[in-house]
Structure 1
């Protein structure tokens, strides 16, 4: 576990933040945490931790995730305020590093939300920037703001990926993409896959739970998940995509037996120790955008 330093939130504002801006940042921070909670409590969720079971993980439980979320509350507030203040990427990155240290401190060194810290954090910053500029809060506007303000830095960040984490080792071993590569392209899997799947299911009259299941399987079918590569190699990644695509092809949660099929998929992933944590992080991001943006 890395040395835990600078655990106090770094002040980032270069001008006084108005009461209205602070209130907005508080609301977005609450929605970010609620989005992570929505992902946690979803079930059946193949291979992933929920309140029902620990999925493919022997080292973490739902309580571990709750401790992590509690530790991240102030991070989402500060990074939204940083977006409001048009902070440069190195400030956002520093906030993310400090948030990761707080996460690891809260979970005794277990990585519960590293990908979410990056993905939801950058979205919070872009949402904050849209707010202060008076931009109508659509998903397209948030993505455009993200790329307009930080695309170049995100591209450099994706190249300078290091090799210390399990995800980084999977990228090097299997040429798999991960959260940094997603960020460099403006998180297309969130905007073009996860969020549309969520909204299609809701528009078809299905409930929020079913819509989130559909979004998760759509993401599993689409992304190259370094968490899966780390645990299962190329064969495991192929198995995840194959099963997710089969679930989507049969209509997802519109199919009468969807819950039984999702549960069977979950049990199979647990038996193989597969865990699509990257898709789970992106689902949390899609839930945040659904809560914040208009269609």
Structure 2
């Protein structure tokens, strides 16, 4: 052991997974240029969000993700008790997020997705391939939370009832197909094609947008807005992706459409963060994880 290694702090598993979850949320927020979303250029289609608020929100969720991972580690298996632990911790995390943001919903969907994935990763650190973690998260999501509020009047819930689409809850219960089948394969293809990391991540976001019934877009712009998002994202990828000249032109067109419609694909953004988390996780956990 050299002096540098000796100085490295010992991280608990919960510390490490919470770090990775927050890093993924910040990486998603920073990624630019994202159509209609907050990024380094500005607030996109939002009037109540900005990049600093997204960073503050992500950082506020670190204790929440750590607690979920620790609950999973302590329970050791997928049970009703763990599902209710995750639900309780997530609701507490949402309260803290809203306190930090002054009541603005920055990451409600991300608490659900990243919390489940953090808990699922902690359950078995020997099986961290994206599909393995996603299946454990799905099994956990399929359990009912008896302490959850009886009814939800969130924007996502309203849209699901109105349009008959599935939202964040069902996406998790299905094993995050937008992440496993769209985002991660596109991320790998774009990297292999030499797109660079930022371009590959943008392409992964667009791949999610081609298929997802994004409830954030549906709430703001209806079916017409959703169709515009899906077809616009398909056009960018068909033209060669976000790093090709033709793809950049299509991306600017999609951006103009999203701003005109005041539509922001927040559901896709949450799932991109989940994809970045799983992508990083599959390469293993840091060697300095301790036993505490």
TM-score by length of 2: 0.86
Which runs of 5 or more structure 1 residues have no equivalent in the other structure?
A: 1-18
Aligned to 2:88: 94
Partner of 2:169: 180
Query: Given the alignment of the two structures, is residue 127 of structure 1 paired with residue 117 of structure 2, yes or no?
Result: no
Q: Does 1:140 align with 2:131?
A: yes
Q: Deviations over 1:226-248 (max 9, x none)?
A: 10110001111111111111112
Contact 1:83 1:125 in 2 (8 A): yes
Deviation of the 1:24 alpha carbon: 2.2
Output the CA distance in 1 between the equivalents of 2:18 and 2:141. 23
Partner Cα distance (1:160, 1:119) in 2: 18
Is 2:246 aligned against 1:252?
A: no
Contact 2:73 2:123 in 1 (8 A): yes
**Cα distance, 1:120 vs structure 2:** 0.7
Give deviations 1:73-96, integer Å, cap 9, x for gaps.
111111111221235201101111
Structure 2 equivalent of residue 242 of structure 1: 231
Indicate the residue corresponding to 1:153 in structure 2.
143
Structure 1 residue 161: deviation in Å?
Answer: 8.2
Asked if the contact 1:72/1:99 (under 8 Å) is kept, the reply is yes
- Residue 110 of structure 2 corresponds to which residue in structure 1? 116
The answer on whether the counterparts of 1:167 and 1:226 sit within 8 Å (CA) in structure 2 is yes
Q: Does 2:267 match 1:278?
A: yes
Aligned equivalents of 2:117, 2:74: Cα separation in 1: 14
Residues matched between the structures, number: 270
Q: Aligned partners of 1:152 and 1:51: how far apart in 2? A: 36
